[in-house]
Structure 1
């Protein structure tokens, strides 16, 4: 007979898991011993939150199951932010959340935590193993839920349960069926009729277009419709797309914003974009999504259809009449071309006295590998990645868009690099994000993980500073006293270099990318850098002016001059 620990490890391996991230000790010692004797690789992180981020990064990129495990109470609790992130970005992760021994449960024993109450709000499956003979069945169901629903599954195991033996007589296994889902023919006919009669159509593609690039592009060409993509869909719709006009939303571009706001019919494909102010008020809106619960939850829709985007669009195309009038598409493509030139101009204007973060991102875009995988911290590094790094069908992009956490970049990159050891994996880090989980820089060395860390060092919580200024407030409590990150990297045992002049950036970046193992490039970037939205509201202008007045009255007038010069007067 096998112990529950051995059964769990065996079931995970058979489900396709290759790694388990966590910290050993206490209630999971028997489980980690079983992992040691299995084909699972244990990745020893320094903080459990990093383990959850790393597992999510691996699973998001690979589509395969990854695992993390923690001890009872504090150990399992440390996973929770990374678990929320992994669940919200659709990464199939399985968490083994241990608990105290059953004999002490319910008696206020030290470190007792109700794991199910905590994790059922951020998982597609969350159940305890109540009996040893349930072990394979529960873990199989958890893995199956994570893989098929693309989310986190949690299995709660009491410490004493891990070492109990089981008959394990029924061969429960994990099933990964494939299926096609599309609307019924009558619904597709009705959709085609609306599209054939509409004048100016815009397609708004989201993460649901992940496997539908060719079909969506063909649809755009047939309808002469501009294609706008959400931030999460950049990787899948931005390249080889003659209808592409960029992104909508706060960090979008004017062409993408106008395409959505000025169309007569907006066709949302696999998009669950959350911000209602970026949807049109008067257009007909039609939404297609694989999840019926997503229909109409962001904006009122005139027609909602359930279906996989690739299957649905493929069935829709023969029903459509090709359009010859491309006036709407051409005007927005021209505007998008202008948008790109403006972005490129900012990056091509190095200032000898400072380094613009756009210049850093565009230099990276030129030097990074054709199939590089990028992560970015929430905040301004996310903006520079999404606006200035080009998708080409081979590159991958991951940042915290649905959860909006800090400190996600290099922990997610850690897992991505483990999943794809031959690929160049680059983390765009804010100085605030990097220092929040700085301890796991040691994991990069200990586990020999060759992640490249690019630090946008502006000595501030830059995105928060921007938020405060746009609200007309003086920025408060955003100052960061940072170490010399290049020296810190060397003390931790890997390559580090600092750049504070634009003219030195390209050569330093080439050395950084060529360095063996993990490497860190610390770049001092302009602090007074606003992230401009695609449409400037009068309130935003007046609020920024109010910040300027307050800054002058408080003796910070030089900052106002820099802000105006760098963001409005160019």
Structure 2
């Protein structure tokens, strides 16, 4: 019996390991909806806004490395997907975007909800096609999966509704990607640089995830302190004596100090953009499986194209054990920094310090997935939420989109039973309707709102640029009552003495939970103390203004 194009698409997605499709129904994708209804191996997750569908799919893919899927109907439904898809594009998540289209004989007629989706999705996609011949259905969906998986990005198929209903042809293509092995012809040059270095520093990014033990062993053997870009947060414990913390605006003082003293920077799976924080005139080894990332930010002495895991496995066998460990020389600096952080993390003032909220949460949520939204909350999550080494952190790292927290947590909850979302009140209000999705599908996500009634990061940016605070005040509803109206437990905390018990209650709750933490609106996300030149260059690089940094 012949299969429809819609059935072929769904069955091929199932074959590729896609477990669910996030989206909202619509007339132009009704054939897809019916094909999903009849297929018992894939689930439909009804979100409340298509942006949430794309965010959920993006985060699920970031966590698993697998292909995920989202969909939108013709016109506005599919347009709404774009912000979440750009998050997937920029963080290299493998997402299939299925968009509806008007009947093929109406294309070009300026028909109701007719939008040129191929043109619209061109920039966000690594693969971007409209299905115009039903006999091509099997190949195009296979190709979309293949491109999304191998190129780690968004693959888009635009689907006219009449084509979806037609009989299509299947395609028997290989779904799995071949394993690539690298020889590292310059490995010996890298080993020589490492052996001759007296103060090496390792910087890790998203490409280092999953290789904690190898990085730990490598760092110990060469005595190198470890710093991390945002996507490297949580690869190792922040309490590990070798881990100095983050870098940049979200960074730490010991990281800055380590970089100022290093004679060799080893970049593992990172393409950190803020080059003013990186040392100049030192040797650099860069390991990355994308050749385009090599030397994109800094001059590289030795480039090694390949996976971090394979490099470390080979390098550990060749490098000499250093007796003089550079990370031990950083011990006092790190201890001093932790004491400095701890002063505000344990402060009992009202309104609560957001740093205290993040720190207290990190003592309880020591494993699982931590989804961190964008804004001031990114600082508190990156710096004050101490990684145990057993959590997986997810950010909108490269797009930096507000609103990823709640829908991202929904997506994460399908692959982990222990999901915590840290969100600012501004980002939460953008996508808070996805709490309804969490409740509908019994997703036990825990959402903590850092509620300061302001767009706090924008307030800080205005101040840095010399402008008065303006346009950042937020009118917020009672978020705890809002959660309760959905059937979700909610609690508001204003007194820091009540924080610990509220977190315990949230942790022990079985279903979704919202903790509305009222925090100090005047707490700034200040960068670690830098030299005058570094601070000035940092401000210039972000705001393109000749401003003097403010000393606190």
Question: Given that residues 229 and 238 in structure 1 are in contact (C-alpha distance below 8 angstroms), is that contact kept between their aligned partners in structure 2?
Answer: no
Match of residue 76 from structure 2: 74
Give per-residue Cα distances to partners, 1:14-72, cap 9 Å, x unaligned: 11011111110110011111011112111111100000001112221122222111111
Match of residue 324 from structure 1: 323
In structure 2, distance between residues paired with 1:157 and 1:21: 17
Secondary structure, in 3 states, of the residue corresponding to 1:203?
A: strand
Change beyond 3 A, Cα 1:209–1:222: same
Secondary structure, in 3 states, of the residue corresponding to 1:208?
A: helix
In structure 1, distance between residues paired with 2:332 and 2:87: 37
Candidates 356, 360, 365, aligned match of 1:359: 356
In structure 1, distance between residues paired with 2:353 and 2:393: 22
Match of residue 336 from structure 1: 334
Q: Which moved more, 1:518-527 or 1:382-391?
A: 382-391
Secondary structure, in 3 states, of the residue corresponding to 1:250?
A: helix
Matched, 1:487 2:486: no
Change beyond 3 A, Cα 1:153–1:355: same
Tell me the C-alpha RMSD between the 2 structures.
2.0
Secondary structure, in 3 states, of the residue corresponding to 1:166?
A: coil
Residue correspondence of structure 1 range 540-551 to structure 2 within 5 A: none
Question: Given that residues 182 and 311 in structure 1 are in contact (C-alpha distance below 8 angstroms), is that contact kept between their aligned partners in structure 2?
Answer: no
Question: Given that residues 286 and 303 in structure 1 are in contact (C-alpha distance below 8 angstroms), is that contact kept between their aligned partners in structure 2?
Answer: yes
Secondary structure, in 3 states, of the residue corresponding to 1:374?
A: strand
In structure 2, distance between residues paired with 1:444 and 1:219: 41
Q: Which moved more, 1:107-116 or 1:27-36?
A: 107-116
Match of residue 509 from structure 1: 503
Match of residue 17 from structure 1: 18
Change beyond 3 A, Cα 1:91–1:541: closer
In structure 1, distance between residues paired with 2:483 and 2:466: 38
Secondary structure, in 3 states, of the residue corresponding to 1:448?
A: coil
Match of residue 519 from structure 2: 525
Give per-residue Cα distances to partners, 1:505-548, cap 9 Å, x unaligned: 11122222223321111111001101121234559999xxxxxx
Candidates 374, 399, 402, aligned match of 2:398: 402
Question: Given that residues 226 and 333 in structure 1 are in contact (C-alpha distance below 8 angstroms), is that contact kept between their aligned partners in structure 2?
Answer: no
Residue correspondence of structure 1 range 380-395 to structure 2 within 5 A: 380-395=376-391
**TM-score scaled by structure 2?**
0.93
Shift of 1:240: 7.8
Match of residue 299 from structure 1: 298
Matched, 1:463 2:461: no
Secondary structure, in 3 states, of the residue corresponding to 2:61?
A: helix
Match of residue 346 from structure 1: 344
Give per-residue Cα distances to partners, 1:535-562, cap 9 Å, x unaligned: 34559999xxxxxxxxxxxxxxxxxxxx
Shift of 1:181: 2.5
Change beyond 3 A, Cα 1:149–1:513: same
Candidates 133, 136, 143, aligned match of 1:134: 136
Give per-residue Cα distances to partners, 1:54-93, cap 9 Å, x unaligned: 1112221122222111111111110000001122222221
Secondary structure, in 3 states, of the residue corresponding to 2:348?
A: coil
In structure 1, distance between residues paired with 2:402 and 2:210: 28
In structure 2, distance between residues paired with 1:348 and 1:393: 22
Secondary structure, in 3 states, of the residue corresponding to 2:407?
A: helix
Question: Given that residues 137 and 173 in structure 1 are in contact (C-alpha distance below 8 angstroms), is that contact kept between their aligned partners in structure 2?
Answer: no
In structure 1, distance between residues paired with 2:535 and 2:149: 46
Matched, 1:44 2:46: yes
In structure 2, distance between residues paired with 1:518 and 1:242: 35
Structure 2: runs of 5+ lacking an equivalent = 537-549
Shift of 1:200: 2.0
Match of residue 315 from structure 1: 314
Q: How many residues align?
A: 537
Question: Given that residues 11 and 173 in structure 1 are in contact (C-alpha distance below 8 angstroms), is that contact kept between their aligned partners in structure 2?
Answer: no
Matched, 1:175 2:143: no
Secondary structure, in 3 states, of the residue corresponding to 1:17?
A: coil
Match of residue 554 from structure 1: none
**TM-score scaled by structure 1?**
0.90
Structure 1: runs of 5+ lacking an equivalent = 543-563
Shift of 1:259: 1.4
Q: Which moved more, 1:329-338 or 1:396-405?
A: 329-338
Match of residue 437 from structure 1: 431
Question: Given that residues 182 and 312 in structure 1 are in contact (C-alpha distance below 8 angstroms), is that contact kept between their aligned partners in structure 2?
Answer: no
Match of residue 274 from structure 1: 273
Matched, 1:6 2:7: yes
Question: Given that residues 148 and 154 in structure 2 are in contact (C-alpha distance below 8 angstroms), is that contact kept between their aligned partners in structure 1?
Answer: yes
